[in-house]
Structure 1
Amino acid sequence: MRTTVYRDTAAEEPRRILPRAVIVGGAGVCAGAAVAYLFDPVAGRARRARARDQAAHQVHGLRDGLGVLSRDLGNRCRGSAAAVRYRFTGGSADDRVLHERVRAELGRYVSHPHGVEVHVQDHVVTLDGDVLAWEDERARRAVQHIPGVRRVQARWRTHRDTAGVPTLQGRRRRREPVPELLQQQWSPTARFAAGTVSAWMWMLSGRLPRPVSWAVRSASVVLAARVATNLPLRRLTGINAGRRAVDVTSAIEIDVPVDAIWSLVSDYSVFSRIMPDVQEVRRSPDGQLSHWVITGPAGAPIRFDATETRREEGKEIAWKTTEGQLIAHTGALRLTEQANGRTRVQVHLTYNPVAGATGHAIARLIGANPARRLQQDLVRLKEHAERERQPAGLGTGTAR
């Protein structure tokens, strides 16, 4: 028996047409706004030129990125093929080659490889010398897996610590292999593979139940953000990132000698006079600690204390915020003497805003761009320094 189900198409039609009408209307509004913006009679020409330059820049960046990806992918494919050949044909190496392979492998698993003597005879490896007890088993296993090694004879002496052992003195950090996805910076091939997985997860989430779908889409977004920025998650979120989540660097040349610039910036007093975002700066009597009040996003005041970590007279000042500050950061201001009495001023900041690099991106969208503000502050410092250098009889119109 066949049962026919009749749907109320009249009730479904408005629900199907309304979203389409909203989308079409919104697209029309956006298109009209774009036309008005680009073809404005006053500023339209400059805007079109800027948009054309940005488009050309993006195209060049995409082409360069594809070239880097193709080269990296090709190199990794050739490297993988060589590794496979090494596993199958590496056993034919002579004792001299095996000796060098063993020495290279020990450097990854032993903290003091100079304390180990390696002897190879008929593909039998003998290990003498001194090694720490917790490195013994891993090192022997690694040497045993080298192609061409028949047997490993570990005659070295194991020690619980380095006390009293001359060959185990001195600090040396072992460089163990780190998996690709656990490294700070991902290679182009790893980013391409992770981006492909992220897109696949997003498409797959539509077929899953709603709670699971939300979790999969969230993971896909996080992975896509990691791929796009090539930053570790702790720097993206600001969690456990310390003072380094975002790096900002800017520099400018000023037509003033180094000594004059140093006298302006060394006591911090000039910043509150020429930089509108700096409301107040107070230094402690010993000069090591300073209290700052600056204007943050939406005009909210931000207070923090900073201490100097390095001062080289006439060249550099470095500082960092004290513990417990809302926005932890470090910074350095460097002065470099240029030709014709000019000075290059470079400022490098690393800071951890709320929500890390994500918060930095949001701040840029709402107009609070720290990089742009830093560049504007350096321009104000340049104008102030060059104006102060003018002879008393000249007006402001001659300032550079």
Structure 2
Amino acid sequence: MECEAPDTKESWDWAVLTGDAWKKHGQAVADATPYLPGSFERPPQNPAEKISSGYKAWEWLMYLIGLGPALLYGILPHKYWRHFCKGVSVIHCFHQRKIPTNELRQAHQHAMEYVSEFETLYYQQMKERLHFVRQSVHGMAHLGPEAIRVGPQAYVAQWTMERTIGNLGEEIKQHSDPYANLSQRGLRRCQVNVLKAVIPGLDSDDTRNPLLPRGCEDLGDDFVLLRARDEWLNLIADDAASAIRKLLRAKSDTGDIKLKRWARLRLPNGQIARSAWKEKNKPLKSVRMARNVKVAIDGQLEIAEVQFYCRSKEGRALALGSLYSRPNAALLEDSYNTVWSCTAPTGFVAFWAKDIRAVVAMVPHKPDGSCIWIRQHSNKLSQSSWQAQW
């Protein structure tokens, strides 16, 4: 960024990602890759090496909005970090497909505060820094009103438009006159969409996944158990067996259990939740970890590491997992609910497979940005912590 006199770069106290700090931060971003599920699509590359050579828009989103709040904690000065997290919370809200009214009001308030605080913190009413205030900063003030006018940004954002243009482009068959052909394909798409809106039965869910993989088990409600699976009954003992017995309300609270383990579960949202049973057999660099899930247990959302899936004698699918701790309350509030920092999962708990809501990422982090499992030295993070991407 340009620095015009009398302004000096020495006065830019937010410019902390320089030298070795920038290299360490870039490596921390790259080290998060194994912990990001495949359903999160393209992981961000090391920004210290790739940020000016083909860094994709999706990588920017995952880097800044996904990993940023946790990886910049303890690096960016606190007032700038909180301001950054406030902006991230706004983007989180407007990327939802359904936005409750109370969340919309809160996000709009935060967006207005973010824009005002950006000018106070960075621009500081100095004409030499006028170029700091980009159009994208001002644009955040319009997200709330536009969501009321045209709906959530997930449906009208550039992502949606580019995907639609790509889909229509793939349908072109008459290359001698592509623009006329594209116009007709667009017209036909509109006509089909109108018919589906008028007659919803034409858009049957059965057409989404007409064929299921060989050897799978359809659980109903768009939940599907996928292989690998034990060929023979496997012995489950001690605490793991007790957790399963508690869920099944078995007459005896003790004794071993024999069952066949399943490795994967396809969720209604299209994600495939995996399990530690198979993922831990692979080296970390070869894994896109998908065994951490968001699950509703006794009416409360928890984050669990799934050990394996199985079925009861009655045919109901269940999962054996280990629960992460509840998020660090102080850090959660300080970050505007953008950093869910939890301690490592312990013990065993069994829950019904259909109570799983989504696959999430649990990325090890610490204040200086290194993506390794260590002891924290901050007052707010007094023990080993993990960050959840929702």
TM range (shorter): under 0.3
Q: TM-score, normalised by structure 2?
A: 0.19
Q: TM-score, normalised by structure 1?
A: 0.19
Question: Which has the larger Rg?
Answer: 1
* The structure with more helix, counted as a fraction of residues: 1
